[in-house]
Amino acid sequence: MRTRSNPRPQGTPDPDAEDDPPVVLTMHDACSVTGLTQDTLRYWEKQELLDQVGRTATGQRRYTRTDIASIRVLQRLKASGMSIAEMREFAHLRREGPASLERRLGALIDHRGRLDAQLRAVDQWLSVADSRISHYRLVIADRHHES
């Protein structure tokens, strides 16, 4: 069984930290920084994964460093297989601040448990694939020796 633990090295920024000085980015720049499309950012905002993004007087979105940090957390959650509904719940918990730390921890522990189960299933399939690969290699090698 695989165990993966990658704690944040001491001195590296906390991705949940929201005390960095604000940096204002256009949507185009936010997309460049995060690698996401404008459609994805709009969708995440509509799905309440992001706080209401600031806007200019003409209605153009402006992203702060806090917004970008939130987007990066969401990207990691999505990459780990978390559903939009789970991401939305996690985003709501983040907005509650320190009062929700235990619930956020619980949500991440539950999610990690699901990931561990998926890893065990993948490991089983890899074993099956390795067995079949070995079998076919032997069959092919035997054919070459018979020729």
- Sorted by where each begins, the domain ranges of the chain are 16-95, 100-147
SS3 content of the chain, % helix, strand, coil (to 5): 65, 5, 30
Count CA atoms closer than 13 A to 120's CA, side-chain side: 7
Of 60 and 3, more confident: 60
Could you tell me if 18 and 65 are in contact, meaning their C-beta atoms sit under 8 angstroms apart? no
Beta carbons of 20 and 66 less than 8 angstroms apart: yes
pLDDT for 52: 87
Determine contact, residues 54/96, Cβ cutoff 8 Å: no
CATH code at 16-95: 1.10.1660.10
pLDDT for 45-69, tens place per residue? Answer: 999 999 889 999 999 999 999 999 9
Angle at 43 (CA atoms; ends 42, 49), nearest 5 degrees: 100
Residue 147 clears pLDDT 80, i.e. is over it: no
Mean pLDDT for the chain? 87
